[in-house]
Amino acid sequence: MLKTVLNIYNLMIKELKTVLYDKGMIIFIIYVFSVAIYIGGTKTSIEINNGSIAFVDNDKSQLSKKIIDGFFKPRFNTPDIISYYDIDGKMDSGYYTFIVLIPDDFEKDVLSSKVPEIQVNIDATRMTQAGIGSGYVKNIINEEVQNFLNSNYENKINPELVIRYKYNPNLKGEWFGSINEIINNIVMISILLSAASLVREREHGTIEHLMVMPLKSFEIMLSKILAVCIIVLIGVSFSLWFIVETLLSIPISGSIPLYLFSTFLVLFATTSMGVFIGTIVKNMPQLGMVFILTILPLMMLSGTMSPFESMPLVIQYLMKLMPTSHFVELSQAILFRDAGFSIVWVQMLDIFIVGLVFFTFTLLIFKRSLGMDN
């Protein structure tokens, strides 16, 4: 037992030194857990910012003026007033994303309890602003009309809707963008490092040296997994402390040690996947091709880029077999909702079971590829 532990320790030190001597890989790891996290957090936004909007005010009433004044920065630029004949030209040139047409007698119809229509022209080539912005435009107009009616009918009583947003009160997209970037980079770098380590040894001929030494395939594989885990956990700790909390000023509500332990569990699975890829490919070009085919589905279908619930049921059932889908749910629960072990232990158990299956299967393939009996 002691000999096995010493073998794993010495092999792990060898793996760490190999990575440290590779300047290109060190620069890449630093980039992944610093600049990439910052970019991922700052570029992600679910809000409308400085949306270009114009109004065609055919009514020129007090209500229409209130509606126009309801649009202001930072959601929208200060609205411009244009004529009806400018609509097509301004939309064709892409000058405005939104052009709102308020019809004649709009205020009169509203006060007469009629239901007048407001035409909203939206440039749908700007898909994010078009989809989210249409909701903002509708809500602002409805709110201004309701306030106008309340001010004109003294005894009108309306229920007040009080909305409270939990975990992200200001609806800042960068809060989840940075964490999602960390999750994606954990999966990406762990698979890449473990696979590249094995392919590099095969290309340099050092794998044959390990085969003739009194080592077990279990020891060789576990040392590679542990070395990658150490590197990634250091990178994740730095990202959470310096990039997320310090630079982006994003509050982390949950337990960092619990999250790092959960990260270790998912690394146990993803590094096993990396060793499997490194076992079946022959060289670095093949690794690059297989890596792309593996990492893209994992990143796109695990819930970081689109809600997991919105995917087809077949995809949901399939991704439940992957550790990353459980890790996304667990990460958001711990870091933002302050979920403790009593809440997330089910996801942690799922990740461990999936990781154990990946590790056992990969060990069998790895042992057969080396032609070792143990």
- Percent of the chain at pLDDT exceeding 90: 22
Mean pLDDT of 239-263: 88
Q: Which residues contact 248 (CB under 8 A, 6 or more apart)?
A: 38, 41, 42, 174, 178
**DSSP summary character for residue 71:** -
Stretch(es) of the chain classified as CATH 3.40.1710.10? 53-152
Q: Give the pLDDT confidence score for residue 157 in this predicted structure.
A: 43
Q: Give the pLDDT confidence score for residue 238 in this predicted structure.
A: 93
Q: Which of 18-32, 193-207, 256-270 has the largest mean confidence?
A: 256-270
Q: Give the pLDDT confidence score for residue 228 in this predicted structure.
A: 92
Q: Give the pLDDT confidence score for residue 47 in this predicted structure.
A: 63
Burial letters for 188-204: b for 16+ Cβ neighbours within 10 Å, e otherwise? bbbbbbbbbbbbbbbee
Could you give the residue ranges of the DSSP H alpha helices within 61-152? 62-69, 87-92, 106-111, 127-152
Does position 26 have pLDDT exceeding 60, yes or no? Answer: yes
Mean pLDDT of 137-165: 67
CB 362 within 8 A of CB 273: yes
**pLDDT band (50, 70, 90) for residue 76:** confident
Q: Give the pLDDT confidence score for residue 158 in this predicted structure.
A: 44
| Structure confidence by residue, pLDDT tens digits, 281-331 | 888 888 888 888 888 888 888 877 766 766 788 888 888 888 888 898 888
Does position 263 have pLDDT exceeding 70, yes or no? Answer: yes
**DSSP summary character for residue 210:** H
Q: Does domain 53-152 have CATH number 3.40.1710.10?
A: yes
| Structure confidence by residue, pLDDT tens digits, 187-222 | 999 999 999 888 888 877 777 676 667 778 888 889
Q: Which residues contact 311 (CB under 8 A, 6 or more apart)?
A: 301, 319
Q: What HEC string does 267-328 produce?
A: HHHHHHHHHHHHHHCCCHHHHHHHHHHHHHHHHHCCCCCCCHHHCCHHHHHHHCCCHHHHHH
Tokens of 308: 């997991």
Q: Give the pLDDT confidence score for residue 164 in this predicted structure.
A: 58
| Structure confidence by residue, pLDDT tens digits, 86-143 | 888 888 777 888 899 998 988 888 888 787 888 888 887 766 667 778 888 888 888 8
Q: Give the pLDDT confidence score for residue 95 in this predicted structure.
A: 84
